[in-house]
Amino acid sequence: MRVLLPLLFATTTLAAAADLPDVVKCRSIAAAEARLACYDRIVDRLQASPQGGSSQAPAAAAAGVRPRAEFGLEDRARSALPEEMRSNIEGAIDGWEPTTRFRLANGQVWQVVDGTRGAYLLRSPAVRITRGVMGNFFLQIAGVNQAIGVRRVD
């Protein structure tokens, strides 16, 4: 809590100085949860005011990005996007090999980038794509006990 007060003042504009009495009131609250809620209300009010503080909205929201539609295309620095995405592969598949491309029902196209191969005859199977470490993605097909390394190409 001792760090919060200087941080609060360092990240706001001069308009925030008008809120000093409110900050002092918050500081006097003994219960930790209630004190934190008090500070949160001040920060929320400052962020909502036109001259008070900068908007801390995620970059994706500011740019009008739809997180699910952008899944797999973002750079590694963007963390506001979901950890997984679910869809179906369009039509029938008879398996995959390196460089195979899967077109999903949501319009995305993912390409196999690892050396895995599989031979399965499936019709519009459900898929789940999850984030791995270091910007990798893995596609899991319903009924297949194997994760496939993929990258989004479209």
H helix intervals, the chain = 4-10, 20-27, 32-48, 59-62, 67-70
User: Residue 102 class from Cβ within 10 Å (0-12 exposed, 13-18 middle, 19+ buried)?
Assistant: buried
Give the per-residue pLDDT at 21. Answer: 81
Q: What whole-number percentage of the chain has pLDDT above 90?
A: 40
The whole-number pLDDT of residue 119 equals 94
**65 pLDDT exceeds 60?**
no
Please state the rounded mean pLDDT for residues 133-151.
Answer: 92
- Whole-model pTM: value is 0.51
What confidence tens digit (pLDDT) does each residue in 40-53 have?
888 878 777 655 44
Residue 50 has a pLDDT of 59
Boundaries of every domain in the chain: 4-48, 67-152
